[in-house]
């Protein structure tokens, strides 16, 4: 992570700290970061399901700074005749004025406004996945790591490390948003030592 800077470093830390998929990360709105309950809300994740995951305490200062940046960008958009963010159809009809509020802006907005692929309306969407992928490739190359860079690896590390410190599969299943516990059980093969997951007494010396 030391090779990543600014918003890209925060994105990677957030994926590792929450178990979010890359698409879920980029779809986050300002309102989805709840400092009061220490939760991150995932809206319409895989399978169009909502869920809640943990808010890493160590990322709170950086997240507050990012939200301040979003507020400034949003103010600039409004001053220049933009400011409406994409809203799912049902929510757009139910809350017609919400698209212009800071709460509904993307947490990681694109660097410029552009035409919406759905409607053609000029607005600011979230950062494109290719931008993060490009930064990950650069960071991996600079680090001398001989493995292909994958944003999904941070989600895998989140699950694996929780298992290693003793969290139960059901809890991890809920945090990851797996519909079937068997999907979560795959991670047990990563952390198991030996045939039965037993740590040899010699390894404790």
pLDDT tens for each residue of 52-110: 999 999 999 999 999 999 999 999 999 999 999 998 777 778 888 899 999 999 999 99
Which entry of 21, 123, 124, 126 is annotated as an active-site residue? Answer: 21
The mean pLDDT of 22-31, rounded to a whole number, is: 96
In a domain, residue 44? The reply is yes
Of the ranges 22-36, 90-104, 137-151, which is most confident? 22-36
Which entry of 29, 123, 126, 178 is annotated as an active-site residue? Answer: 178
In a domain, residue 72? The reply is yes
**What is the pTM assigned to this prediction?**
0.85
In a domain, residue 20? The reply is yes
Examine the residue annotation and report whether 155 is marked as an active-site residue of this protein.
Answer: yes
In a domain, residue 160? The reply is no
C-alpha pair distances (Å), 163 with each of 56, 155, 157, 172, 187: 17, 13, 10, 8, 8
Classify each residue of 125-155 as buried b or exposed e, where b means 16 or more C-beta atoms within 10 Å of its C-beta: bbbeeebbeebbeebbeeeeeeeebebeebb
Q: Percentage of the chain surpassing pLDDT 90?
A: 52
Task: At 106, list the tokens.
Answer: 């993307």
Measure the CA–CA gap between 52 and 204, rounded to whole angstroms: 36
In a domain, residue 161? The reply is no
Residue-level pLDDT at 202: 46
In a domain, residue 170? The reply is no
In a domain, residue 141? The reply is yes
The mean pLDDT of 28-46, rounded to a whole number, is: 93
In a domain, residue 127? The reply is yes
Examine the residue annotation and report whether 126 is marked as an active-site residue of this protein.
Answer: no
Residue-level pLDDT at 70: 98
Of the ranges 59-73, 135-149, 174-188, which one carries the lowest mean pLDDT score? 135-149
Which entry of 128, 134, 152, 193 is annotated as an active-site residue? Answer: 152
Measure the CA–CA gap between 3 and 149, rounded to whole angstroms: 13
Number of domains in the chain: 1
Examine the residue annotation and report whether 152 is marked as an active-site residue of this protein.
Answer: yes
Residue-level pLDDT at 205: 45
Examine the residue annotation and report whether 21 is marked as an active-site residue of this protein.
Answer: yes
Which range marks the domain in which residue 114 is found?
6-146
Which entry of 46, 125, 138, 161 is annotated as an active-site residue? Answer: 46
């Amino acid at each position: 992570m030391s090779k990543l800077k600014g918003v890209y470093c925060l994105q990677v830390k957030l994926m590792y700290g929450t178990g979010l998929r890359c698409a879920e990360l980029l779809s986050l709105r300002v309102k989805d970061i709840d400092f009061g309950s220490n939760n991150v809300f995932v809206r319409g994740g895989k399978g169009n399901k909502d869920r809640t995951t943990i808010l890493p305490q160590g990322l709170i200062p950086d997240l507050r700074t990012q939200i301040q940046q979003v507020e400034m960008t949003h103010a600039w958009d409004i001053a220049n005749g933009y400011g409406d963010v994409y809203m799912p159809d049902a929510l757009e009809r139910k809350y017609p004025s919400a698209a212009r509020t800071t709460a509904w802006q993307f947490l990681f907005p694109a660097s410029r406004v552009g035409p919406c692929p759905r409607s053609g309306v000029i607005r600011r969407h979230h950062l494109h996945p290719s931008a993060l992928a490009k930064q990950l490739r650069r960071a991996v190359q600079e680090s001398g790591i001989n493995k292909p860079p994958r944003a999904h690896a941070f989600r895998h590390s989140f699950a694996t490390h929780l298992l290693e410190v003793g969290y139960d599969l059901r809890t991890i299943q809920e945090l990851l948003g797996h519909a079937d516990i068997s999907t979560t059980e795959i991670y047990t093969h990563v952390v198991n030592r030996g045939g039965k997951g037993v740590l040899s007494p010699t390894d404790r010396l």
